[in-house]
């Protein structure tokens, strides 16, 4: 057995225990989902001009966890209005600090005949604000906002924003509500997994180098967003246990068994942001049909090869190819 094979075996056998009781976690989320299930999305949609004649674009806003309007693109092939058959839809979430970008970023999905619902993450690099109350100080970044009050925290807000993004996508014209995939990398991968765990409308998940996996480990070792939590705890060490208990509710290590849809996950073994020890810990607890793609020589990146792997995975799920 060579070193790479040995490393693969070690990761495949990585099974740290959950950091919260499964029944407690499920009761918590069923209560949250029930309390928000009847809240109207209050969607507003208007056509958006584009220089590309083969796509139709609408600028959509829906209400997320609170009263924050979350901005998104609904993009479809330009001949969509003439097609009687509903299309699969890919819901996408950006990486940390990023945005949904221009609609042409998603042209490869349109070439497959899919629609796209591309979503901003509140307060970050897109056009979406953040109306959560800022009751306490935070360190640089976003994720430490409300870290000691789970119902007023940034993680709760972005989790429910993602859940409601799937609901909003399912109501777009021409979308097949039984063929909705959630796709993203890093933060976007973590939100895709969260949406897959919390919204039964999700039919497939592609989570590349996902964040929000084994978050206590990430606080110790990650150099990106979870390091913001580490810096907060450095300032307030007496809050460590309270913060770890908070994060356990959003940790895909704990939520993985709730995923029911087929899922593909990718992992870069040299990644210092979303480390393989975090991703495999969550992946190994997924009980649904699953595939993983290892990149032993990649860091925090999603290469063209993996982008095509994600496309092929969704084609297999949606079209049996």
Give tens-digit pLDDT for 258-286: 999 999 999 999 999 999 999 999 999 99
Q: Is 283 annotated as a binding residue?
A: no
Catalytic residue among 186, 222, 225, 298: 186
Assess if CATH 3.40.50.1820 describes domain 40-314.
yes
- How far is it, in rounded angstroms, from Cα 180 to Cα 314? 10
Mean pLDDT by 10 residues, the chain (321 residues): 95 97 98 93 97 96 96 89 77 97 97 97 96 90 94 97 98 97 98 98 98 97 93 96 97 98 98 98 98 98 97 94 63
Task: Write down the pLDDT at residue 321.
Answer: 63
Is residue 300 among the annotated active site residues?
yes
Task: Write down the pLDDT at residue 233.
Answer: 96
Give the strand pairing for 55-63 and 69-77. Answer: antiparallel
The two counts, helices (H) then strands (E), for the chain are: 11, 9
Task: Write down the pLDDT at residue 57.
Answer: 97
- How far is it, in rounded angstroms, from Cα 318 to Cα 321? 8
Catalytic residue among 120, 161, 271, 294: 271
- How far is it, in rounded angstroms, from Cα 267 to Cα 280? 8
- Give 301's Cβ-side CA count (13 Å radius): 9
Cβ neighbour number for residue 6 with a 10 Å cutoff: 10
- How far is it, in rounded angstroms, from Cα 154 to Cα 123? 10
Task: Write down the pLDDT at residue 83.
Answer: 52
The length of the chain in residues reads 321
Contact 197, 255 (CB under 8 A): yes
Name the 3-class secondary structure at 55: strand
Is residue 186 among the annotated active site residues?
yes
DSSP 121-140: -TTSSSS--------S---S
- How far is it, in rounded angstroms, from Cα 230 to Cα 263? 30
- What does the radius of gyration of the chain's CA atoms come to, in whole angstroms? 19
The secondary structure element, H or E, covering residue 153 is none
Stated pTM of the model: 0.96
Q: Using the structure block, give the residue that is written with the tokens 């990486």.
A: 95
The residues pairing with 195 across neighbouring beta strands, listed in sequence order, are: none
- How far is it, in rounded angstroms, from Cα 72 to Cα 49? 15
Give the strand pairing for 69-77 and 44-48. Answer: unpaired
């Amino acid at each position: 057995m060579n070193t790479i094979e040995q490393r693969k075996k070690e990761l495949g056998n990585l099974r740290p225990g959950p950091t919260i009781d499964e029944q407690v976690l499920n009761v918590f989320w069923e209560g949250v989902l029930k309390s928000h299930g009847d809240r109207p999305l209050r969607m507003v949609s208007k056509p958006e001009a584009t220089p590309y004649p083969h796509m139709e674009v609408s600028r959509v806003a829906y209400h997320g966890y609170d009263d924050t309007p979350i901005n998104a693109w609904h993009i479809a092939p330009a001949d969509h209005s003439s097609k009687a058959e509903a299309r699969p839809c890919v819901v996408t979430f950006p990486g940390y600090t990023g945005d949904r970008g221009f609609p042409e970023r998603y042209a490869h999905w349109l070439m497959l005949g899919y629609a796209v619902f591309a979503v901003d993450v509140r307060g970050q690099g897109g056009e979406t604000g953040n109306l959560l109350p800022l009751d306490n100080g935070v360190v640089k970044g976003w994720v430490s906002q409300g870290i000691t009050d789970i119902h007023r925290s940034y993680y709760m807000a972005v989790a429910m924003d993602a859940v409601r993004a799937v609901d909003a996508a399912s109501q777009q014209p021409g979308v097949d509500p039984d063929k909705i995939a959630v796709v993203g990398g890093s933060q976007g991968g973590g939100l895709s997994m969260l949406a897959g765990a919390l919204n039964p409308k999700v039919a497939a998940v592609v989570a590349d180098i996902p964040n929000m996996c084994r978050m206590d480990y990430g606080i110790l070792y990650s150099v990106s967003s979870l390091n913001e939590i580490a810096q907060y705890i450095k300032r307030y060490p007496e809050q460590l246990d309270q913060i770890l208990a908070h994060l356990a509710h959003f940790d895909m290590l704990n939520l993985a068994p709730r995923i029911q849809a087929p899922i593909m996950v990718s992992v870069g073994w040299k990644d210092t942001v979303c480390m393989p020890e975090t991703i495999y810990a969550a992946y190994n607890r997924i009980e649904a049909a699953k595939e993983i793609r290892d990149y032993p020589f990649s860091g925090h990146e999603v290469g063209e090869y993996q982008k095509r792997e994600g496309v092929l995975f969704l084609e297999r799920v949606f079209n049996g190819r």
